[in-house]
Structure 1
Amino acid sequence: MFRRIRCLMKSLLSARSGNAMMMVALGMPALIGAMGYGVDTAQWYMWQRELQHSVDQAAIGGAWALAYSDDADYETRAKQEFNANQKITASFASAPTISLANFDGGTANSVLVTATATKKLPFTGLLLNQSATVMARAQARFKEGNKFHACLITLKQDGTTFQIGGNAHVIANCGLGALSCSDDAITIDGSATVETTSIAACGTVDVPESLQGTVTENASGLTDVYSDIPIPEPDSSTADQTKAKYCDGNGNKAIANLFPGKYVGGYTAKCATTFNSGIYFIDGGTLDLSTNATVVGKNVLFVLRKGAQIKLGGEGATGSITLTPMQAADFQSTPYAADADRLSQMLFMEDKTDETEPASHQINGNTNLNIEGVLYLPNGDVQINGDSGTTSKLCFQISAYTLDIRGSAYLRTLCDYDDSSLLGTSTPIVRLVA
């Protein structure tokens, strides 16, 4: 009997026909587990990828909002971007946590967004009866575009357009600017003295080393901020004030009392002149206030038409010029009331309609020149020269086609930087940093 049992055991041990089945039976759990893990991994990766993309876009969107405005509702913008990129995880993702964070030594200069998504995976969720959580985090830094202000601006878009040379002395802490995108758009000789807080150009500049810290070259976004201001035009109600003789009286007692209207061929101040409040249309010729006569004009606007030129300042030291611009309230009874806010503070405006060649304008020294407001001369080549008499105790701004300050000219404007013309804003910067 024992012999028969031994034979049976030997037969069983020597049998090979059931090995494959045994191996399959033993390996099946591992195979099923590997397949389930693969499915779970793909599912988890898909959740993670969508959630990460959503927080990335949320951080970038919030950063762009703040890059354009300090007061922007960056949280709302970030949530909008997060929700717009949700699809697969939309039903089980948490609401994003959005906050400002410090980055690279800055303070509150980045947007930080985090979010989680929790749900059971197909295999491990069934096996362990537990949910899996994926987390995503994104951080985007932002930098506002630089705002460039200037009170002395050139508008020609190519070539060297702004020159300061000789022994000229310019005090303009409100800034210098040039829309020219050429090399040496602004040039300042080493012999000239310039006091300013900002020099910005679309192209490059050539300035003394002492001014290099104020320079921004290749600045983007620079524009002519006055280009779309409606320029007043005379109509049928505009009085023609042209005369053969404007001065009443003789010698030093002669005076000219002028009123708003159209002046064909310009006007030369051959005697003490008062410009009464209103708009003066200079149709051709020259508005010549360089004769050393005393000139006063309060709340006035000069519109230069048909190539009219201006000459300010004098050739001696006896004259004085005091001019101030119209205010918004002064336009209320005129045909330009709708544009009162935009026209206020304009002292000279140049209508370049049908003009193909720039007009030449000149500001001389040797007189007491006190002007306030904006000289907008988009078709004008302005030359400033003279000695230390050329100065202004008020805030004035020049925005011209070209500007050349030479000789011993002394030019001072008291405009504050933030109150001067907005030359433009460079493109903000947003970067995803984490």
Structure 2
Amino acid sequence: MRNLFKDLWNDRRGNVLIIIGAALPVLIGAAGLATDTIQWTLWKRQLQRAADSAAMAGAYDRAKANGATTGIATSVSHDLTLNLHTAMALQTGYPQVTFPANSGSMKNQVKVTLAVQQRLPFSSMFVPNPPVIIANATAANIELGGDACVEALENSATKSGIQISGNAGIYMPDCTFHSNSKASNAAYAKGSSAVTVDAVSAVGGIAQSNNWTVNAYRPYSPAMADPFANINPVASNMKCAQVSTTKNGKTTTTYPALDETTDLNNSKDAGGNKANCFSSLSVGANKTLTLPAGTYYINGGDAFIQGNLTCNDCTIVLTNTSTATNATIGQFKVNASSNINITAPTSGTYQGIAIFQDRRAVDSTQTNKINGNSASVITGALYFPSQELQYNGTGNTTATCTQIVARRVDFSGNSTVSNRFKRMTDCTAYGLKSSGGTITIVRLVA
């Protein structure tokens, strides 16, 4: 190469310089066009990334708003403020935000279109109007199918929704665990626990570990709706048992508990109606309580099971006749060596719900517990929307068709749960039904 330039320098004929001079504009033009093309390509990539991010932000907003679109423009604009790095303003009229119709498994779609136009030094000498660079992105909620068998409603950014520790063994291969927690570890398994589920999803993060055996981790998924949010106990339906005694002209009224000694046929409320409401529920150690079908309201007290409880086609409702927002709501506790066999009703207000705790319950350090060596069968939903449900000890509950919905769910000790159904729709014979909270994730679809 050095010799070639030396020969050109020493050449006196002039024709080589003429050729080089003639070719120089082409060479400079090619270099300039290449430089501008690279810049256009860079802007296109930056614009596409911004459109992708904005579309996903819009889809998350729409999922959070249950399909409403009123706040999406704000979410898209905020995301573009953070993620648009072209160093130039968008064209007038952009961003354009549209909402394609639902298509198959794709719901709540959001399409974002961005455009920029900027003159470049070289191309502007030949092209009076530079090209408009356009980027489109569409994001949607993709339904993955199947309701969650275990759903934690905790939505804070500091508390985990699903906690599995100790020697807990959980086998639900056809089910999904979901946590609405926004925490960095919204659902975790640690210790010697072993969890087999189809998938684990959360609004926040999920740390992978050898404790999980899953087909899919789905962190940063949209929140799942409370499947029983519209169900509230009605005080007028509660016929609370009471006993009035008169001594020395003074009448004293007491409100009895429901236990193994209760005569249900002769338990009456103040109006003489057959009672379905009691101050508390208790079954003593080595005792047995068999309840006929129905709804049993526990008025402000706890349900404490130390012995054996059987109830087919029934729901136990922890609530209060008071309509005050701070009314006392009891807890459900199953002690060691207890057996509970409850089958939820297949119709009516509490269809598919075996145990229902009023959402006015205060979230505190005290929790609801299924504890110890209880070998129980609960068919239906366990619903504790405002408090934690702990399953610990050496329980070996067989959850043939069981759904757990609680503020937080804690499996610990040596607990084992087996579950052999694929999704809620496979349990319609037991009153359970799809919650409408199908597992979804936000993805780019175009």
TM-score over 0.5 for the alignment? Answer: yes
* Aligned position for 1:92: none
* Aligned position for 1:222: 224
* Aligned position for 1:268: 283
Q: How does 1:147-162 map to 2 (within 5 A)?
A: 147=144, 149-158=147-156, 159-162=159-162
State the distance in 2 between where 1:404 and 1:236 align: 32
**Counterpart secondary structure, 1:230:** coil
Which of 143, 147, 150 aligns to 1:146? It is: 143
Shift of 1:269: 4.2
Shift of 1:350: 1.5
**Counterpart secondary structure, 2:236:** coil
Residue identity opposite 2:313 in structure 1:
N
* Aligned position for 1:243: 256
**Counterpart secondary structure, 2:102:** helix
Distance 1:277-1:356 versus aligned 2 partners, 3 A rule: same
* Aligned position for 1:345: 352
**Counterpart secondary structure, 2:396:** coil
State the distance in 1 between where 2:259 and 2:282 align: 9
Shift of 1:426: 3.4
Shift of 1:282: 1.0
State the distance in 1 between where 2:222 and 2:238 align: 44
Residue identity opposite 2:333 in structure 1:
K
Shift of 1:311: 1.3
* Aligned position for 1:400: 406
Residue identity opposite 2:336 in structure 1:
E
Shift of 1:193: 0.8
Q: Which is greater in Rg?
A: 1
Which of 383, 393, 403 aligns to 2:390? It is: 383
**Counterpart secondary structure, 1:368:** coil
State the distance in 1 between where 2:389 and 2:363 align: 16
**Counterpart secondary structure, 1:400:** strand
Give per-residue Cα distances to partners, 1:340-385, cap 9 Å, x unaligned. Answer: 4xx3101111212374647510011313200100111011211111
Residue identity opposite 1:198 in structure 2:
A
Distance 1:213-1:263 versus aligned 2 partners, 3 A rule: same
* Aligned position for 2:208: 207
Distance 1:320-1:244 versus aligned 2 partners, 3 A rule: closer
Distance 1:278-1:406 versus aligned 2 partners, 3 A rule: same
Which of 330, 336, 352 aligns to 1:315? It is: 336
Residue identity opposite 1:300 in structure 2:
C
Shift of 1:236: 6.8
* Aligned position for 2:302: 286
State the distance in 1 between where 2:220 and 2:297 align: 38
Give per-residue Cα distances to partners, 1:121-173, cap 9 Å, x unaligned. Answer: xxxxxxxxxxxxxxxxxx99987613462111111102212110111101123
State the distance in 1 between where 2:198 and 2:104 align: 23
TM-score by length of 2: 0.56
TM-score by length of 1: 0.57
State the distance in 1 between where 2:214 and 2:294 align: 43
Range 366-375 or range 269-278, more displaced: 269-278
Which of 302, 313, 317 aligns to 1:303? It is: 317
% of aligned pairs identical?
21
Q: How does 1:17-56 map to 2 (within 5 A)?
A: none
Residue identity opposite 2:186 in structure 1:
A
State the distance in 2 between where 1:61 and 1:381 align: 39
Shift of 1:264: 1.1
Distance 1:240-1:395 versus aligned 2 partners, 3 A rule: same
Distance 1:236-1:351 versus aligned 2 partners, 3 A rule: closer
Question: Alignment RMSD, CA only?
Answer: 3.5
Are 1:65 and 2:102 counterparts? yes
State the distance in 2 between where 1:290 and 1:385 align: 15
Shift of 1:427: 4.3
Give per-residue Cα distances to partners, 1:35-94, cap 9 Å, x unaligned. Answer: xxxxxxxxxxxxxxxxxxxxxx9xx977x4314579xxxxxxxxxxxxxxxxxxxxxxxx
Residue identity opposite 1:66 in structure 2:
S
* Aligned position for 1:164: 164
* Aligned position for 2:77: none
Residue segments in structure 2 that go unaligned for 5+ positions in a row:
1-95, 108-135, 243-254, 268-273, 320-327, 426-433
Distance 1:66-1:142 versus aligned 2 partners, 3 A rule: farther
* Aligned position for 1:184: 185
Give per-residue Cα distances to partners, 1:249-308, cap 9 Å, x unaligned. Answer: xxxxx99889861111443345210121111111223211233x3x21011111112221
State the distance in 2 between where 1:192 and 1:237 align: 42
**Counterpart secondary structure, 1:267:** strand
Residue identity opposite 1:225 in structure 2:
P
